[in-house]
């Protein structure tokens, strides 16, 4: 790798990491109350016997699976499992629903109603 390419790549890495840090600070400033309200609603639903159903598209589908796995197993500390499911894991159902319904209603409706 030439020195020029190394320098360009180094700057791109620094810019990307700086942007991510700035974005997290803005989210902390502007979204903390909304995040706490969402967390409170989730805890209230789980305490009432509900289940957290997550979904997403593309990379967000992978995030939904990761979050569900953390809630079912543990996150940060040992605890009882929390009921959570990522609706994006049943690709057979999703593609069949999409195919049968001509992409309407959204493919998450039927799996959500069935769980």
Q: What is the pLDDT of residues 7-58, one digit of tens each?
A: 899 999 999 999 999 999 999 999 999 999 999 999 999 999 999 999 888 8
Angle at 85 between CA 52 and CA 68, to 5 degrees: 85
Q: What is the pLDDT of residue 108?
A: 60
Query: 63 and 18 in one domain?
Result: no
Is residue 73 domain-shared with residue 115, that is, in the same domain? yes
User: Residue 76 is encoded by which pair of tokens?
Assistant: 């940060």
Residue 53 phi/psi, 5-degree rounding, is -110, 120
At 75, give phi and psi (nearest 5°): -140, 115
The pTM (predicted TM-score) of the whole model is: 0.67
Whether residues 84 and 28 share a domain: the answer is no
The verdict on 41 and 78 lying in the same domain is: no
Please say which residue of 50, 66, 86 terminates a domain. 50
Q: Which of 29, 50, 71 is the last residue of a domain?
A: 50
| Domain carrying residue 46 | 1-50
Give the number of domains in the chain.
2
Which residue, 105, 102, 67, 96, is CA-closest to 84?
67
**72 in the same domain as 44:** no
Q: Which of 10, 27, 50 is the last residue of a domain?
A: 50
Task: Report whether 53 contacts 68 (CB < 8 A).
Answer: no
Determine the Cα–Cα distance for residues 90 and 28; give it in Å rounded to an integer.
34
- Residues 96, 86: Cα–Cα separation, whole Å: 17
């Amino acid at each position: 790798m030439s020195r020029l390419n190394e320098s360009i790549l180094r700057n791109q890495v620094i810019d990307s990491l700086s942007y991510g840090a700035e974005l997290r600070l803005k989210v902390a400033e502007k979204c903390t109350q909304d995040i706490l309200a969402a967390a409170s609603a989730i805890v209230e639903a789980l305490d009432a016997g509900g289940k957290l159903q997550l979904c997403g598209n593309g990379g967000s589908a992978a995030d939904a699976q990761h979050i569900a796995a953390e809630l079912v197993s543990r996150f940060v500390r040992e605890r009882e499992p929390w009921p959570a499911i990522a609706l994006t894991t049943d690709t057979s159902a999703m593609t069949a629903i999409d195919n049968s319904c001509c992409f309407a209603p959204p493919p998450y409706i039927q799996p959500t109603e069935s769980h």
